């Protein structure tokens, strides 16, 4: 546990020095607040912009609080996920580029604690940022639109956090042998493909972790059903990704000159 804790402290310190603890939570909080506020004031915004006659604005119906919260998740799916993946894309590649990986390997230290600590630091940043964004969305939805079923919001948020987690974890093994933003874009591509297949072939890919985002929205809306296979597959992907990343880093470290 001592190597893990040392690496974890290092990752958290580096995240602070690169201001990830400022701009990543700020983006999620902004995304979370924007959805209920823009939905509530949309008729006034369109009327002031001259895009909508006052008579048409009067016909606009504010969606239910549950629908607003479910639509907020789609905001996190686009910009929020991109921010998380970009924030984590150099988590492993940076160790290879600076020569830190070679230093660790030269001391015959196991790379498993290093990868587990990197993953834990990434998850800490992700959970805090997402919780802040979801909390901001829930607060303004409650204040502007109406009451929420907090149990459904919490369980739906947990499913969505797991969806974010397995995608961000893919950056670890990809970053172990790829440079630059390639690891980030491949992670997003894998998430997009699985989510698309989950929508096109729902009966054949019930196990897919790509279903977790839609399951989270359904849980908030109160229409979701219990399904454990996507959750278990997502957890398995995360465990395998950490192990594979550690193996790849040990086999092919890069020096600063390479």
Give tens-digit pLDDT for 56-72: 666 677 789 999 999 99
| Domain range annotation of the chain | 2-251
Q: Measured between alpha carbons, how far is 146 from 88 in angstroms, rounded to an integer?
A: 36
Query: pLDDT at position 97, please?
Result: 57
73 close to 160: Cβ distance less than 8 angstroms:
yes
For the entire predicted model, the pTM comes to 0.86
Give tens-digit pLDDT for 188-208: 888 888 888 877 777 777 888
The SS3 of residue 248 is helix
| pLDDT classification of 254: cutoffs 50, 70, 90 | very low
Query: pLDDT at position 100, please?
Result: 58
Which of 188, 178, 158 lies closest to 78, judged by CA? 188
Which of 106, 154, 109 lies closest to 130, judged by CA? 154
Give the chain's radius of gyration (CA, Å). 21
Give tens-digit pLDDT for 72-127: 998 888 888 889 988 888 777 666 555 555 555 555 567 788 889 999 999 999 99
């Amino acid at each position: 546990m001592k190597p893990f804790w040392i690496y974890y402290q290092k990752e958290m310190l580096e995240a602070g020095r690169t201001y990830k603890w400022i701009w990543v939570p700020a983006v999620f909080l902004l995304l979370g607040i924007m959805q209920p506020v823009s939905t509530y004031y949309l008729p006034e915004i369109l009327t002031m912009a001259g895009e909508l006659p006052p008579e048409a604005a009067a016909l606009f119906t504010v969606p239910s609080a549950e629908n607003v919260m479910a639509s907020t998740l789609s905001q996190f799916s686009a910009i929020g996920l991109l921010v998380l993946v970009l924030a984590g894309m150099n988590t492993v590649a940076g160790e290879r580029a600076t020569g830190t990986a070679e230093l660790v390997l030269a001391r015959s230290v196991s790379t498993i604690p290093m990868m587990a600590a990197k993953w834990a630091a990434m998850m800490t940043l992700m959970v805090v940022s997402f919780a802040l964004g979801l909390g901001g969305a829930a607060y303004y939805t409650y204040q502007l639109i109406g009451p929420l079923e907090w149990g459904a919001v919490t369980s739906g948020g947990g499913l969505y956090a797991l969806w974010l987690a397995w995608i961000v974890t893919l950056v670890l093994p990809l970053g172990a042998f790829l440079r630059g933003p390639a690891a980030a874009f491949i992670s997003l591509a894998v998430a997009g493909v699985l989510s698309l297949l989950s929508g096109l072939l729902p009966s054949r890919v019930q196990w897919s972790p790509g279903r977790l985002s839609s399951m989270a929205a359904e849980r908030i809306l109160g229409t979701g059903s219990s399904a454990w296979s996507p959750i278990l597959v997502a957890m398995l992907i995360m465990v395998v990704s950490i192990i594979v990343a550690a193996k790849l880093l040990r086999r092919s470290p890069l020096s600063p000159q390479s």
